[in-house]
Structure formats: structure tokens, C-alpha cells
Amino acid sequence: MKLDRLLGILTVLLQNDRVTAPYLAEKFEVTRRTIGRDIDTLCQAGIPIVTHQGTGGGISIAEGFKLDKSVLTKSELSGIIAALKGIGSVSEKSRIERTLDKLGANADAVVSLAEPVVIDLASMYKVDLTPKIERLKQAISEQRVVAFDYYYSKGESHRRIEPYIIVFHWTSWYVFGFCLKRNDWRMFKLNRLWNVTLCDEHFAMRNIPPEQRDFNSHFTDEIQLVALFDPSVKYQLIETYGLDCFTETAEGLHFAFGFTNQDYAVSWLLGFGSKVKVLKPPAIVAEMKAAANNILARYKET
């Protein structure tokens, strides 16, 4: 990951008067050419880096330009590190941890790895999720078509897409890309996506329409659910949708909220058993009644 390497190089330069390119290449396990490109990137970002030729030469930050709060404060670095460690939770190996482990041995390290904020984006799905993300990242980097099996409410489908962006949205991971089957932009949930294969076919980057770049547009709240919940499940409603999602009445907790997917809404409601009564829309009321009758029929069979 280039970002954490740039952060590591900057930290080394801030802590030392002068270092050599071979030293940085060995420390960060990359080539000298890569270090050269990284130094150029830091210069373009406004960091005044000076290179010295000959015996005793090396790389340094211009005299007088040290960590004087004009670059990044400790608080800002902590935020960057917390974010990078969050990404590391769904990577095969957390490169930011590896980089900062090397720097943390120095008593003068700018910031400690023991951050007060822990972000784990993997949850219980890491074993399956991490390889998918790594493979999709490779496909995006190499501009290669990916193929996979997709499972959703209408059944199963084999898809081939040009992947563009991996998105974490509303507690779930998605890949956004151009679906070659639908000939349109689509968002696919990674937990429903299996048997990811990198194809030999490469693609040229398309211009993503501005309206498609708004990922919230892919999650419209078209289903307006109204239901009455038993007061005993108040904490569950608050935990999931916040304090303002319901009103306390004499009949119970009057819940009103917008949902994107009817199947998800019904599945979530069924988890409350007899402690919820759906008032509208009629389609969900009918589906809840049908589900209740099916459950009853199953138990009558035994």
C-alpha cells in the first residue's frame, strides 16, 4: 500500500538528518526506483526534500523543516493510522502494521501503534471476504474483467463485470462496476458474490456518469415501512436505526423507516416474531402473513 509507505518514509526523514535510498529501499522492502518515485510524490505534496550526491550523501528534509505542526500533528497522524489499520483488517497482511512496527522500535517515533480507536471492517466474514477484496483490487489495478456467481432474491446468476471501486457502505462491502450482462453500472454485495475469477480479458476505463458516482443513489428508500413494536425490543430498534426511528404510543413503539430491499425488510421483521405488527405497505403485510402461515404449516406437519 503506497500511502502507508509514504507515511513511513516521511516519518523516517523527520527523525533523521539524512538517510540513503538503499537504506529506505531495504527498510520498506521495495526497489530504489520505487523509493525515487515516492520521494517525487512527497515533493509534489509540498515536502521540501533535498538529495545530496557523493560520499556522505543521501536524502533529507530541508534545513529547519521538521515536525513543527506544519506538516501533520500527532492527532492527524493518529487518524490516518487508525484508518489504515481499518483497511488492514480486510487485507491479507496489514502493511501499515508492518511499517509502523519498524518505526515503533524507535523511542522517538511520532505516534504509537496503540491507537485508542480500533476499526475492524471484516467482522465474522474475514476468511471469505479478504481473498475477494484482494482479487478485486488486483483486477481493478490491472483493468481485468472478473467473473463470479451471484446469489440474490431472484435466484442465481453468473456475471462478468469491469470492476472500478470497492465500496464499504452501511455495514457491508460491495464492488461497483460495469456489468457486461446488463450493459450498465451495477453494485454487487460481496457476501453474495462467490467463485471470483480474474479473466484474461482487459478493459479500457469508461467514464463513470456523475449520477452513478453517488453511491447512495444505489440504495434508495423506496419502501416506507410503518410498524408497531413491543416496548421490550426498544433497545434493538435504537441499536439498528437510532433514537428517532420510533415514537412511543399507548399501543407500542410506532416505527417508521425507509428500506431499499423488501426481502431484507421482511427478513429483519420476522426476527422479532410476535413482537411486531406491520401496518404498511400492504405488500409487506401480505408477505408477513404468508410467512406466518408457512411457519405454522411446517409445525402442523410434525
114 contacts 150 by C-beta, under 8 angstroms: no
Q: What is the pTM of this model?
A: 0.56
Return the higher-pLDDT residue of 19 and 228: 228
Q: Which residue in the block uniquely carries the three cell numbers 422479532? A: 272
For CATH 3.30.70, the residue range(s) in the chain are 223-301
- Read off the C-alpha cell for 178: 460495469
For CATH 2.30.30, the residue range(s) in the chain are 124-218
Return the higher-pLDDT residue of 240 and 115: 240
Return the higher-pLDDT residue of 193 and 260: 193
Return the half-sphere exposure (C-beta side, CA atoms, 13 A cut-off) of residue 73: 2
Residue 72: its pLDDT value, please?
55
In angstroms, what CA-CA distances link 132 with 92, 214, 243, 252, 264?
A: 10, 23, 35, 43, 23
CATH top-level class for 124-218? Answer: mainly beta
Residue 103: its pLDDT value, please?
44
What does the pLDDT average to over 89-115? Answer: 51
The pLDDT confidence band at residue 67, using thresholds 50, 70 and 90, is very low
CATH topology of domain 2-104: Arc Repressor Mutant, subunit A (1.10.10)
Between CA 81 and CA 112 the distance in angstroms is: 9
The pLDDT confidence band at residue 55, using thresholds 50, 70 and 90, is confident
Between CA 199 and CA 218 the distance in angstroms is: 26
Judged against a pLDDT cut of 60, whether residue 111 lies above it is answered with no
Residue 56: its pLDDT value, please?
74
Write the pLDDT tens digit of every residue in 189-221.
898 999 999 999 999 999 988 888 777 666 666
The pLDDT confidence band at residue 29, using thresholds 50, 70 and 90, is confident
Between CA 242 and CA 265 the distance in angstroms is: 16
Judged against a pLDDT cut of 60, whether residue 102 lies above it is answered with no
Write the pLDDT tens digit of every residue in 69-91.
345 566 666 666 666 566 666 66
Residue 70: its pLDDT value, please?
44
Write the pLDDT tens digit of every residue in 157-187.
999 999 999 988 767 789 999 999 999 999 9
CATH topology of domain 223-301: Alpha-Beta Plaits (3.30.70)
Residue 259: its pLDDT value, please?
86
Residue 26: what residue type? Answer: E
CB contact set of 30 (below 8 Å; sequence gap of 6+): 5
237 contacts 255 by C-beta, under 8 angstroms: yes
CB contact set of 80 (below 8 Å; sequence gap of 6+): 7, 72
Residue 234: what residue type? Answer: K
Mean per-residue pLDDT of the chain: 81
For CATH 1.10.10.10, the residue range(s) in the chain are 2-104
The pLDDT confidence band at residue 235, using thresholds 50, 70 and 90, is very high
Residue 117: its pLDDT value, please?
63
Judged against a pLDDT cut of 90, whether residue 15 lies above it is answered with no
Residue 183 dihedral angles phi and psi, to the nearest 5° = 55, 45
Maximum distance among all Cα pairs of the chain, rounded to whole angstroms? 89
Residue 61: its pLDDT value, please?
83
CB contact set of 146 (below 8 Å; sequence gap of 6+): 135, 136, 139, 160, 161, 163, 196, 197, 198, 199
Judged against a pLDDT cut of 50, whether residue 109 lies above it is answered with no
